[in-house]
Every structure is written in structure tokens, then in C-alpha cells.
Amino acid sequence: MSETLAIIGGTGLTQLPGLTISKAHDVQTPYGSPSAPILEGELDGYRVLFLARHGHPHRIPPHQVNYRANLWALQTLYATDVIAVTAVGGITRNMATGALVVPMQIIDYTHSRESTIFEGDLSTVTHVDFSYPYTESLRQLLVHSAKSANEAVINGGVYGATQGPRLETAAEIFRMEQDGCDIVGMTGMPEAVLARELKLNYAGLSLVVNPAAGKGEGVITIKQIEENLADGMERVKRILHVAVDQFYSQ
């Protein structure tokens, strides 16, 4: 089978409008069930798989997402490429609320998550290369798609993945900034490395929905996040439509 694009939707993107669903796959994996049935359908005439990372309705917190099952299930359905949509907090100055980012690097601060498929009763030990955690060609596809959709995106930046589900302290964000992080979210890892282990191309599209802790006025409210999500995800969807089109026409 030729290439198939999968989209993992995060907070604010539990459905993909325009997707004509032909099947909802209940995939069982060696790691259990994915977050939700994987929707197979057509978007603008092209075969696309869609998975709601937090379930549909949104009910699984970031630290309890079964990332291994999610990625395994997508691969079982012959996904070759995965676009991962995430909502994030903005740390550095360019990462203003509302900005869309196609990150280039990751720093992983998560812990106690099941973060590899290479464990258990193995005959060999595997260490995947993860120097460049995102697939450059898929990153570029997102950047070009945004341009065609007339949506500004920031090409690059470091995604700091935190454990959650609580938000960070201002001191933690200060430390993350010193480390080189530009944005902060709770789902970027181990999703990216599992994609790499499963040999899936993988790139992220992140929407900044709040200034990270200590970077804005006062505390972070869910109301503020939700308001920014609603508007931003409309722009994300416009980019995804173009990305699907460009992916299958390349």
C-alpha cells in the first residue's frame, strides 16, 4: 500500500470536520487499546486516518494516554506519516498566544511513561537515533501548507514535554527557558520517539494557547486556554486541509 497520512488530534481537536468517515477501527494492540477508535475516511478525496489523542469525548489526561497503543494501532492500519497536533504554552518571546509552531527539537521532562516498544523479552537491544526527532520532509510539508493556507507559522523551536497533568511552576518554566525550550506541552513525548521506533514519519503542529507559567499576567485559567483553542484550531484545520492535499500530490 502507498503512503497514508494519519492525524493525531489533541486538546481542541477531537474531531476532524470534513472527514467523511468510512470506518471506525477498534484496534487491539500488544499494549492494549488506543485512546479511541481510529477513524478512517476521506478528507478532500484523500484517505486519512484520525485519532483523538485524549479520547472522544476528551477524557484521558496526558500522562495516561496509551501512546504505545496509539502509534502501534496507526501503523497496523498502514499509516506511514503522522501529523501530531498539540496545544502548548508559550515560553520565549516569539511564541505569543495564538502562534502556530512547527517545532524542530524536543527536550523530554516526562517520567514514568511507557516510552519504548523495545523492552521485554528481546533477542537484541535497540537504540534508535533521535538526534532530529521530527521528520524534516513532513515538517516542511506543514510549513508550506501553512503558507498556502495564508496562515503564519513559526518554523522551528524546541518543544519541552512535561509530565502534567498539572501546569508548571514559574521556576520550572524559567529553568526550561534556560535549557532552550520555546514551548511547553504534555503530550509531545513519548509520542515522537514511539513514532521513530515504529519507523513512522512524524511532525508536530503546535498551537500556543497561553503564556507559560510566569510569562503572562497572573495565573493560567482554563477559560483563557479554551478561548484561544477555539479560534486557533480553526486555523489548524485550514492548514491540515492543505497539508492532506499536498501530502498526496507530492
Cell of 89: 504554552
**What's the min distance (Å) between Cβ of 211 and ligand HPA?**
8
Report the DSSP beta bridge partners of residue 25.
38
Residue the block writes with cell 502509534: 71
**What's the min distance (Å) between Cβ of 20 and ligand HPA?**
30
Residues at the interface with ligand HPA (CB under 6 A): 87-89, 162, 167-168, 184-186, 209-210, 212
H or E stretch covering 155: strand 154-155
Which residue's CB is nearer to ligand HPA, number 194 or number 212?
Answer: 212
Which residue's CB is nearer to ligand HPA, number 187 or number 201?
Answer: 187
Which residue's CB is nearer to ligand HPA, number 35 or number 210?
Answer: 210
**What's the min distance (Å) between Cβ of 57 and ligand HPA?**
18
Quote the CA–CA distance of 250 and 240 in Å, as a whole number.
15
**What's the min distance (Å) between Cβ of 159 and ligand HPA?**
10
Quote the CA–CA distance of 34 and 225 in Å, as a whole number.
26
37 DSSP 8-state letter: P
121 DSSP 8-state letter: S
Which residue's CB is nearer to ligand HPA, number 83 or number 181?
Answer: 181
Q: Which long-range contacts (CB under 8 A, 24 or more apart) does 172-179 make?
A: 172/213, 173/89, 173/91, 173/212, 173/213, 173/214, 173/215, 174/214, 176/91, 176/107, 176/109, 176/212, 177/91, 177/92, 179/107
Which residue's CB is nearer to ligand HPA, number 168 or number 191?
Answer: 168
Cα distances (Å, whole numbers) of residue 48 to 14, 42, 146: 15, 6, 19
Of all residues in the shown chain, the one whose CB is closest to ligand HPA is 89
**What's the min distance (Å) between Cβ of 64 and ligand HPA?**
15
**What's the min distance (Å) between Cβ of 212 and ligand HPA?**
5
Which residue's CB is nearer to ligand HPA, number 154 or number 200?
Answer: 154
